[in-house]
Amino acid sequence: MMYFSQVVMSLIFITVSLLSSLVLADSDEYKSKLYTNENFETEVVKNNHFVMFFAPWCTFCKRLHPTWEELAEMLNEDETSQVTIARVDCTVSRELCSEHDVTGYPTLLFYLKGKTVGVKFRGTRDLPSLTTFINIQLGSDREVSEEEVGESEQKPEVTSGLVELTEDTFHKHVSQGHHFVKFYAPWCGHCQRLAPTWDLLAKEFEKERSVTVAKVDCTQHRPVCQSFTVKSYPTLLWIHNGKMVDTYKGPRGIDDLKDYVTSKINYNWKQDEEKNDSLTETEKEDSGSEKLSVLEITGETFDSSIERGFTLVKFYAPWCGHCKQLAPTWEELAKKSFPTIDVTIAKVDCTLEVNKELCNVQEVDGFPTIFLYRNGKKISEYNGSRSLDDLVEFINSNFHDEL
């Protein structure tokens, strides 16, 4: 009997050790802070907080998890961040969740520093929407003086070559010529690290009359940033005669940025415009004939693929019978002409590893799932007949609804 008891105790010890190691291993994947009944009230007042109240069994919580941790990695890893991303397990801290009126999962609440009453997030649970919400909350306690209002009606402020644009000055300023614009948020750590380099870049090109180096604070001038579908910070756009022609995604060292600006200044933009003007109507139609096949999108190309115009996306699995039946119709739809609508027909294979997170974030819960996006935002899900005529009608009706 004594031997049996020793064996049982050994097994219990091994089991506890394994569970402990699993908990430790699991905690490594979390960048968000875990708060409980014991530490929530003392921690949440120390900084601005965005908190997810969740239950481990909740499907929507599981879908949000990678996005929430991406947000946490962006903000919690930076010592200068003005926001802490946290989470509360309501199956463990029931009393805390009850006190904060959590009645469904996930519930996302934003707490300003020093406050214990949160503001509920009610938007789409994607990274752009979450960061926009943070911007709004961080700007909500800032009062605008009469002096500042008067300044917004003046010309753009220029400091050592760097042009600071506002909602009132932006469109007029960029309507002619070349402009390299940084869209940023003051709380963003990456933006703060780029700031001195961006100032230096502006000074380098201060006397270059053909280009301006500028910046826009998206927490103060949201409509400007929304019009260019800015989804993350910093976003660096090259604007030519009022139109966005390129997004800079290279290294952010001063030499790399200088080389980029120089190459854009020296590019023969006039030749491109003349070439486009010289095309006959037939040639213009022919030049678009390459866009007949369905656009294959991945998790890496998704945001850039849907950022302009209308995009109808089919999320599918190759083994799915209904997806196979829809495939030829989808190809025909891509060949359809929509003279007055800028529309792209696309597809995402949700079985590919590179796309699994994307399909989770987009809340794809069956195949095929068809979503319509306009300028980067999901506006509708298609649940009708999968005939060519009905799909065409769906696109046309949504276009007219937007007018």
Angle between helices 127-139 and 59-76 (to 10 degrees): 60
Position with higher pLDDT, 342 vs 49? 49
Q: Which CATH class is domain 156-263?
A: alpha beta
Predicted confidence band at 322 (pLDDT cuts at 50, 70, 90)?
confident
Where are the domains positioned within the chain? 23-138, 156-263, 291-402
State the chain's mean pLDDT as an integer.
Answer: 79
Query: Is the confidence at residue 10, as pLDDT, over 90?
Result: no
Q: What are phi and psi of 289, to 5 degrees?
A: -70, -15
* Token digits of residue 289: 């004939």
Q: Do domains 156-263 and 291-402 have the same CATH topology?
A: yes
What pLDDT, on the 0 to 100 scale, is given for residue 88? Answer: 95
Distance CA 375, CA 361 (A): 18
Short-list 199, 193, 201, CA closest to 234: 193
Position with higher pLDDT, 21 vs 27? 27
Distance CA 342, CA 233 (A): 27
pLDDT-above-90 percentage for the chain: 22
Distance CA 120, CA 111 (A): 9
Mean pLDDT for 359-384 is 86
Apex CA 211: angle with CA 208 and CA 216, to 5°? 125
Predicted confidence band at 286 (pLDDT cuts at 50, 70, 90)?
very low
Q: What are phi and psi of 347, to 5 degrees?
A: -150, 155
Mean pLDDT for 123-133 is 81
Query: Is the confidence at residue 390, as pLDDT, over 80?
Result: yes
Predicted confidence band at 49 (pLDDT cuts at 50, 70, 90)?
very high
What pLDDT, on the 0 to 100 scale, is given for residue 155? Answer: 52
Which among 104-108, 178-182, 305-309, 378-382 has the top mean pLDDT?
178-182
Give the pLDDT confidence of 198-230 residue by residue, as tens digits: 999 989 888 887 889 999 988 888 888 877 777
Predicted confidence band at 110 (pLDDT cuts at 50, 70, 90)?
very high
Short-list 245, 244, 248, CA closest to 232: 248
| Amino acid sitting at position 106 | P
Position with higher pLDDT, 227 vs 51? 51
What pLDDT, on the 0 to 100 scale, is given for residue 28? Answer: 52
3-state helix, strand, coil in the chain (%, to 5): 45, 20, 35
Against a cut of 0.85, is the pTM above it? no
Q: Identify whether 234 is preceded by a cis peptide bond (ω within 30 of 0).
A: yes
What pLDDT, on the 0 to 100 scale, is given for residue 225? Answer: 84
Position with higher pLDDT, 261 vs 123? 261
What pLDDT, on the 0 to 100 scale, is given for residue 146? Answer: 34
Which among 167-171, 256-260, 321-325 has the top mean pLDDT?
256-260
Mean pLDDT for 290-318 is 83
Query: Is the confidence at residue 361, as pLDDT, over 60?
Result: yes
Position with higher pLDDT, 275 vs 312? 312
Catalytic residue ranges: 188, 191, 320, 323
* Token digits of residue 44: 């949440």
Q: What are phi and psi of 72, to 5 degrees?
A: -65, -40
The radius of gyration of the chain's CA atoms, rounded to the nearest angstrom, is 26
- Exposed/middle/buried for residue 287 (C-beta within 10 Å: 0-12, 13-18, 19+): exposed
Specify the DSSP class assigned to residue 309. S
Distance CA 137, CA 219 (A): 9
Range scoring the smallest mean pLDDT among 59-68, 71-80, 149-158, 192-201: 149-158
Query: Is the confidence at residue 315, as pLDDT, over 90?
Result: yes
pLDDT-above-70 percentage for the chain: 80
- Exposed/middle/buried for residue 359 (C-beta within 10 Å: 0-12, 13-18, 19+): buried
What pLDDT, on the 0 to 100 scale, is given for residue 158? Answer: 57
Mean pLDDT for 361-375 is 86
Helix (H) or strand (E) holding 318, with range, is none
What pLDDT, on the 0 to 100 scale, is given for residue 8? Answer: 42
* Token digits of residue 193: 């690290």
Helix (H) or strand (E) holding 200, with range, is helix 189-204
What pLDDT, on the 0 to 100 scale, is given for residue 352? Answer: 87
Position with higher pLDDT, 143 vs 244? 244
Mean pLDDT for 296-322 is 87
Please tell me the CATH code under which domain 291-402 is placed.
3.40.30.10
How many CB atoms are closer than 10 A to CB 300? 11
Find the length of the chain: 403
For residues 203 and 161, the answer to whether their CB atoms sit within 8 Å is yes
For residues 55 and 91, the answer to whether their CB atoms sit within 8 Å is yes
CATH topology (fold) of 23-138: Glutaredoxin (3.40.30)
* Token digits of residue 365: 């819960």
Query: Is the confidence at residue 348, as pLDDT, over 50?
Result: yes
Distance CA 376, CA 304 (A): 8
84: helix, strand or coil: strand
What pLDDT, on the 0 to 100 scale, is given for residue 147? Answer: 36
Which among 42-51, 267-276, 353-362 has the top mean pLDDT?
42-51
Q: What are phi and psi of 181, to 5 degrees?
A: -115, 130
What pLDDT, on the 0 to 100 scale, is given for residue 292? Answer: 47
Helix (H) or strand (E) holding 67, with range, is helix 59-76
What pLDDT, on the 0 to 100 scale, is given for residue 13? Answer: 42
For residues 402 and 374, the answer to whether their CB atoms sit within 8 Å is yes
Which residues lie below 8 Å from residue 269, measured CB to CB, with a gap of 6+?
240
